[in-house]
Amino acid sequence: MDAREALKIYFGYDSFKPGQEDIIGSVLAGRDVLAIMPTGAGKSVCYQVPAMLLPGITVVISPLISLMQDQVKALKAAGIRAGYINSSLTEAQIARVYAQARQGAYKLLYVAPERLESYDFTSFAAQAEISMVTVDEAHCISQWGQDFRPSYLKIVAFIEALRIRPVVSAFTATATEEVKNDISCVLKLQNPKTVVTGFDRENLWFDVQAMKQKDNYVLDFVKKHPDDSGIIYCATRKNVDALHALLQGAGVPAARYHAGMTPEDRKKNQDDFIYDRTPVIVATNAFGMGIDKSNVRYVLHYNMPQSMENYYQEAGRAGRDGAPSRCILLFSAQDIMINRFLLEHKNFTDVAEEDIELIKARDAKRLQVMEGYCRTSGCLRNYILSYFGEKRDAPCGSCGNCQREFTQIDMTEDAKQVINCVYETKGRYGLNILLGTLLGANRARLKELGTTEYRTYGVLKNRSEAELRTLIGQLLLDGYLVQTADRYSVIRMGNIEPLRQPDTRVTILTYKEKEAERQGTKQSRRSTDVLTKAGYELFDLLRKLRLAVAKEEAVPPYIIFSDKTLIDMSAKAPQNRDAMLRVSGVGEIKFDKYGERFIDAIVGFLKDRPNAVTSIADPEAGGAEMERSAKKAKKVPFYLNPEDVERFRYHDLYSVMEIKDELNRISSADNVKLLFGTDIFRFLSSVGYVEEKRINGRQVQLCTEKGISKGIVSADRISKTGTVYQILMYPPTVQKEIVAHYASLNGADAQPQIVRKDVDK
């Protein structure tokens, strides 16, 4: 058996991911390896495959108990003999593991680093044939990182004490030079083959949302994705508890996790999440290291983390299985205040005097980078990658910022007025008084305080409150103003010197979502979007079967099959062994265990619905081809069946987006593509009700004379950032015409007049 065969038989994959083949080849040739690959890149396979091919046993050093248990469960499910030794086992159980290991029962043995010093282990190791020592999460060896584990320093002594030096392979997702050097030196790697793969995670969609109403956003998001598993990170335990209570109060099953809870509670909550009993977990950054759950579909950050290293690691827990997943950071100026405050008051006992300044400077720099990420209008993915030393030429086109059109507004004169107003308050009042005064609000409280007598009272009354909020946020960030971090936070004068220079400008950025994207292309793409409606139903069925099997075997569902595998399975709908083995992630061993049950489920599903052809399995298509082959599924442009028409709920005035949602909801056709707002807009413009024009360099949708006579009106909406924009609203008569149009496109012989462009790209 060679590496490729092992990959196919045990793991069900047809091809290696970047870096894997190189690493495996080196190890098999007897050369040490240092592999730096991002989360989800498939590091485990890099030592598991060689472990199967090398004689004797591979010892894997891994920092966390939960991580070991999961890995061993996953290996067993794939038919690989593996065991672990850690403090969760009783003495008797440990003795049994040693006995088995001596008899050669395992190809892989996972141990915690502390164990390496124990007499039992060293005497076992002295006699065993150890072909490779693998150090997983190798950055734990570096004192630079936050995950430093002193016991990792003992690994090298253990290796040196062995009769024959085995190959040593080390794996980490941390890319910094310091960490890389530490690993190489401390582990005394010999002429290691160093493999660094790109840090981009193509399946992750990044976004930053600047806002105050974070609770509403989170609640709304979670409710919109009830079937998805997600992590919500908060900066403090207090935030975790509050948000958790909010979600539970709203009927969302959520777990929580932070260091203030008992170990039992933490374990239970973590398991509930991993075993898909609760889809959502709200947690501090104490949660996550060693969570290999592959089907985390989103990671929300309720607060801004203190560094990009932290952010990328936490966000990177989404989408390990390679299916599209979202990483959204909710950001407010408050976050920056809090973080600055925390850094200013950081406890430096135990730190050498000369290091304090160094650490402070480093922390401040990291925070600045993070702030930059939250404020940039450039490509978010490129921002991250360039921080980690990877340069890109073009924006990625698939992050939040790439899908927005930014406009810069010069507010220098307004800024000066705000500062004048703060001057007049003598720094005694908070944001609300400031806003009320500048806007000239008619409030009793302002009269009481006397701000209605200020020269700045009402000077900015032609601005909207939202704009002023953004502006003040910007002035705080720029340091022209400062906000105290206590409970009755007031706004004071900062350093306004730079503003006295004639060419200093204060600008704020506002944006609107680009039309095509807002109507739902990449950003709202979900991993299951490659499926037809029937395919999705099959996916749902298979998911239930997976949960049942997982329960029987007491393992997390993703260990049976990953989401990505189930999606591929639903697209290919295999009804026999050969076809099933062509599904990415189904190897022979897993087939023998679970294949028949899944085939039965698929056959049963198709019997009830003979026409629900999802996609013909493409014999040429390997694992990597999955999405493309699934997309070849025979989807036709959207149409309505006659009986659907009656289910449309008419409304006084609907926006295009609302009509689109309603149409997608009522369609009973199995094989149609999702309808997008742009489709409807194109129809409306083909009948002459609306038109698109370029005004001031922006595409604007307008209503024609004919449209006005049909009762189409335009209404103001306010975006999350406070920009006012207009959208068109359609009365029931027009809604009826749209419904009739899609009903007329009914069926296979339909001549679709409305061709959607680019959406599948």
For Mg ion, the binding residues (CB under 5 A) are 43
Residue nearer to ligand ADP on the CB measure, 134 or 332 = 134
Residue nearer to Mg ion on the CB measure, 37 or 94 = 37
| Bridge pairing between strands 491-493 and 33-36 | unpaired
Residue nearer to ligand ADP on the CB measure, 618 or 670 = 618
| Nearest C-alpha neighbor of 211 from the set 329, 313, 67, 104 | 329
Query: Quick one: what does residue 508 bind among Mg ion, ligand ADP, none, with the CB cut-off 5 to 8 Å set by partner type?
Result: none
Query: Quick one: what does residue 656 bind among Mg ion, ligand ADP, none, with the CB cut-off 5 to 8 Å set by partner type?
Result: none
Cβ within 8 Å of residue 728, ≥6 positions away: 655, 656, 690, 701, 702, 703, 707, 712, 713, 714, 715
* H or E element in which residue 381 lies: helix 380-387
Report the distance separating Cα 667 and Cα 673, nearest Å: 10
The distance of closest approach from Cβ of residue 626 to ligand ADP in the complex, given in angstroms and rounded to an integer, is: 9
331 SS3 class: strand
Cβ within 8 Å of residue 585, ≥6 positions away: 11, 12, 13, 561, 562, 564, 565, 568, 623
Report the distance separating Cα 394 and Cα 384, nearest Å: 14
Query: Quick one: what does residue 735 bind among Mg ion, ligand ADP, none, with the CB cut-off 5 to 8 Å set by partner type?
Result: none
Strand-pair partners of 170: 34, 135
Structure-block tokens of residue 282? 């709200």
The distance of closest approach from Cβ of residue 74 to ligand ADP in the complex, given in angstroms and rounded to an integer, is: 8
User: What φ, ψ does residue 180 adopt, rounded to 5°?
Assistant: -60, -45
The distance of closest approach from Cβ of residue 67 to ligand ADP in the complex, given in angstroms and rounded to an integer, is: 10
Tokens 């990291």 correspond to 366
Amino acid, res. 685: S
Cβ within 8 Å of residue 304, ≥6 positions away: 235, 329, 331, 335, 336, 339, 370, 371, 374
Q: What are the CB-based long-range contacts (under 8 Å, 24+) for 310-314? A: 310/146, 310/285, 311/370, 311/373, 312/199, 312/384, 312/388, 313/39, 313/173, 313/174, 313/288, 314/231, 314/233, 314/285, 314/288
Give residue number: closest CB to Mg ion.
43
Query: Quick one: what does residue 321 bind among ligand ADP, Mg ion, none, with the CB cut-off 5 to 8 Å set by partner type?
Result: ligand ADP
The distance of closest approach from Cβ of residue 131 to Mg ion in the complex, given in angstroms and rounded to an integer, is: 20
Tell me how far CA of residue 757 lies from CA of 50, 358, 631, 676, in angstroms: 46, 54, 15, 11
User: What φ, ψ does residue 347 adopt, rounded to 5°?
Assistant: -85, 120
The distance of closest approach from Cβ of residue 516 to ligand ADP in the complex, given in angstroms and rounded to an integer, is: 31
Residue nearer to ligand ADP on the CB measure, 43 or 533 = 43
Residue nearer to ligand ADP on the CB measure, 128 or 318 = 318
Query: Quick one: what does residue 42 bind among Mg ion, ligand ADP, none, with the CB cut-off 5 to 8 Å set by partner type?
Result: ligand ADP
Query: Quick one: what does residue 228 bind among ligand ADP, Mg ion, none, with the CB cut-off 5 to 8 Å set by partner type?
Result: none
The distance of closest approach from Cβ of residue 267 to ligand ADP in the complex, given in angstroms and rounded to an integer, is: 21
Query: Quick one: what does residue 480 bind among Mg ion, ligand ADP, none, with the CB cut-off 5 to 8 Å set by partner type?
Result: none
Query: Quick one: what does residue 290 bind among ligand ADP, Mg ion, none, with the CB cut-off 5 to 8 Å set by partner type?
Result: none
Residue nearer to ligand ADP on the CB measure, 335 or 563 = 563
Structure-block tokens of residue 307? 């560094």
Give residue number: closest CB to ligand ADP.
42
Query: Quick one: what does residue 63 bind among ligand ADP, Mg ion, none, with the CB cut-off 5 to 8 Å set by partner type?
Result: none
The distance of closest approach from Cβ of residue 491 to ligand ADP in the complex, given in angstroms and rounded to an integer, is: 44
The distance of closest approach from Cβ of residue 17 to ligand ADP in the complex, given in angstroms and rounded to an integer, is: 4
First to last CA, the chain: 39
Cβ within 8 Å of residue 601, ≥6 positions away: 541, 542, 545
Report the distance separating Cα 47 and Cα 624, nearest Å: 21
Query: Quick one: what does residue 574 bind among ligand ADP, Mg ion, none, with the CB cut-off 5 to 8 Å set by partner type?
Result: none
Report the distance separating Cα 282 and Cα 268, nearest Å: 14
Question: C-alpha angle with apex 77: 76 to 81, nearest 5 degrees?
Answer: 20
The distance of closest approach from Cβ of residue 588 to Mg ion in the complex, given in angstroms and rounded to an integer, is: 24
The distance of closest approach from Cβ of residue 40 to Mg ion in the complex, given in angstroms and rounded to an integer, is: 8
Residue nearer to Mg ion on the CB measure, 290 or 520 = 290
Residue nearer to ligand ADP on the CB measure, 37 or 739 = 37
Query: Quick one: what does residue 294 bind among Mg ion, ligand ADP, none, with the CB cut-off 5 to 8 Å set by partner type?
Result: ligand ADP
Q: For residues 739 and 747, is the Cβ–Cβ distance under 8 A? A: no
Q: For residues 672 and 533, is the Cβ–Cβ distance under 8 A? A: yes
312 SS3 class: helix
Residue nearer to ligand ADP on the CB measure, 6 or 168 = 6
Residue nearer to ligand ADP on the CB measure, 110 or 605 = 110
Query: Quick one: what does residue 284 bind among ligand ADP, Mg ion, none, with the CB cut-off 5 to 8 Å set by partner type?
Result: none
Strand-pair partners of 512: 405
Residue nearer to ligand ADP on the CB measure, 203 or 523 = 203
The distance of closest approach from Cβ of residue 517 to ligand ADP in the complex, given in angstroms and rounded to an integer, is: 28
Residue nearer to Mg ion on the CB measure, 43 or 214 = 43
Residue nearer to ligand ADP on the CB measure, 39 or 339 = 39
Query: Quick one: what does residue 41 bind among ligand ADP, Mg ion, none, with the CB cut-off 5 to 8 Å set by partner type?
Result: ligand ADP
Q: What is the dihedral angle through the alpha carbons of 427, 431, 433, 438, rounded to the nearest 10 degrees?
A: 90
The distance of closest approach from Cβ of residue 758 to ligand ADP in the complex, given in angstroms and rounded to an integer, is: 28
Report the distance separating Cα 724 and Cα 738, nearest Å: 27
The distance of closest approach from Cβ of residue 139 to ligand ADP in the complex, given in angstroms and rounded to an integer, is: 13
* H or E element in which residue 108 lies: strand 108-111
Contacts with ligand ADP, residue ranges (CB under 6 A): 13, 16-17, 20, 37, 39-45, 292, 294, 320-321, 562, 623
The distance of closest approach from Cβ of residue 532 to ligand ADP in the complex, given in angstroms and rounded to an integer, is: 24
Based on the number of CB atoms within 10 Å of its own CB, is 539 exposed (0-12), middle (13-18) or buried (19 or more)? Answer: buried
The distance of closest approach from Cβ of residue 136 to ligand ADP in the complex, given in angstroms and rounded to an integer, is: 8
Residue nearer to Mg ion on the CB measure, 321 or 414 = 321
Residue nearer to ligand ADP on the CB measure, 290 or 535 = 290
Q: Residue 573, by phi and psi: left (phi above 0), alpha (psi -120 to 50) or beta?
A: left
Query: Quick one: what does residue 562 bind among ligand ADP, Mg ion, none, with the CB cut-off 5 to 8 Å set by partner type?
Result: ligand ADP
